[in-house]
Structure 1
Amino acid sequence: MASEVNLAQLRALVAVADAGGFGAAAAELGVSQSAVSHAVAALERVLGAPVLHRGTPARPTPLGERILPHARTAVASAAAVRTIAAHHSGGLTGTVRLAAPTTVCQGLLPGLLRDWRDEHPRLTVRVFEGEDDELGVWLESGTVDAAVLVDADPAPPGAVALGTDSMHALLRRDHPLAGEETVDVADLEDDDFLLSEGGCERHIRDAYRRAGVRFAPRHRIRDLNTLIGMVHAGVGVSVMPALAQPMLPADCVLVPIRPAAHRTLTLTGPAGRPWSPAVTGLLATVR
Structure 2
Amino acid sequence: MAQEVNLAQLRALVAVADAGGFGSAAAELGVSQSAVSHAVAALERVLGAPVLHRGAPARPTPLGERILPHARTAVASAAAVRSIAEHHSGGLTGTVRLAAPTTVCQGLLPALLRDWRAEHPRLTVRVFEGEDDELAVWLEAGTVDAAVLVDAGRVPPGAVPLGADSMHALLRRDHPLAGEASVDVADLEDDDFLLSEGGCEQHIRDAYRRAGVRFAPRHRIRDLNTLIGMVHAGVGVSVMPALAQPMLPPDCVLVPIRPAAHRTLTLTGPAGRPWSPAVTGLLAAVRPGRDRSAAPR
Normalising by the smaller structure, the TM-score range is over 0.9
In 1, distance between residues paired with 2:118 and 2:2? 42
In 2, distance between residues paired with 1:198 and 1:129? 12
Give 1:123's aligned residue.
123
Two-structure CA RMSD over aligned residues (Å): 1.9
* Contact 2:170/2:237, CA 8 A, preserved across alignment: yes
Q: Is 1:35 the counterpart of 2:35 in the alignment?
A: yes
> Deviations along 1:123-151, whole A, 9 cap, x unmatched?
11110000000001100111111000000
> Deviations along 1:16-64, whole A, 9 cap, x unmatched?
0000000000000000000000000001111111110101000011111
Specify every segment of 5 or more residues in structure 2 that has no aligned partner in the other structure, as ranges.
287-296
Cα distance change on mapping 1:62 and 1:83 into 2, 3 Å: same
Shift of residue 3 of structure 1? Answer: 6.1
In 1, distance between residues paired with 2:197 and 2:123? 34
TM superposition score normalised by structure 2 = 0.95
In 2, distance between residues paired with 1:137 and 1:69? 12
> Deviations along 1:166-196, whole A, 9 cap, x unmatched?
0000000000000000000000000000000
* Contact 2:98/2:147, CA 8 A, preserved across alignment: yes
Deviates more, 1:3-12 or 1:239-248: 3-12
In 1, distance between residues paired with 2:45 and 2:155? 42
In 1, distance between residues paired with 2:148 and 2:156? 12
Shift of residue 4 of structure 1? Answer: 1.3
In 2, distance between residues paired with 1:154 and 1:210? 26
> Deviations along 1:65-118, whole A, 9 cap, x unmatched?
111111001100110011111111111111111000000000000000111111
Secondary structure of the equivalent of 2:191?
A: coil
In 2, distance between residues paired with 1:276 and 1:230? 43
Shift of residue 269 of structure 1? Answer: 0.5
> Deviations along 1:233-258, whole A, 9 cap, x unmatched?
00000000000000000010000000
In 2, distance between residues paired with 1:216 and 1:60? 41
In 2, distance between residues paired with 1:3 and 1:181? 69
In 1, distance between residues paired with 2:206 and 2:3? 55
Shift of residue 156 of structure 1? Answer: 2.2
In 2, distance between residues paired with 1:27 and 1:233? 39
In 2, distance between residues paired with 1:208 and 1:162? 26
Secondary structure of the equivalent of 1:4?
A: coil
In 2, distance between residues paired with 1:277 and 1:69? 21
Give 1:172's aligned residue.
172
- Paired residues, number: 287
In 2, distance between residues paired with 1:2 and 1:188? 69
In 2, distance between residues paired with 1:82 and 1:91? 12
In 2, distance between residues paired with 1:123 and 1:274? 19
In 2, distance between residues paired with 1:2 and 1:30? 29
In 2, distance between residues paired with 1:197 and 1:41? 40
In 1, distance between residues paired with 2:175 and 2:146? 40
Would you identify which runs of 4 or more consecutive aligned residues in structure 1 move more than 6 Å?
none
Specify every segment of 5 or more residues in structure 1 that has no aligned partner in the other structure, as ranges.
none
Give 2:293's aligned residue.
none
In 2, distance between residues paired with 1:230 and 1:136? 30
* Contact 2:3/2:46, CA 8 A, preserved across alignment: no
Percent pairwise identity: 93
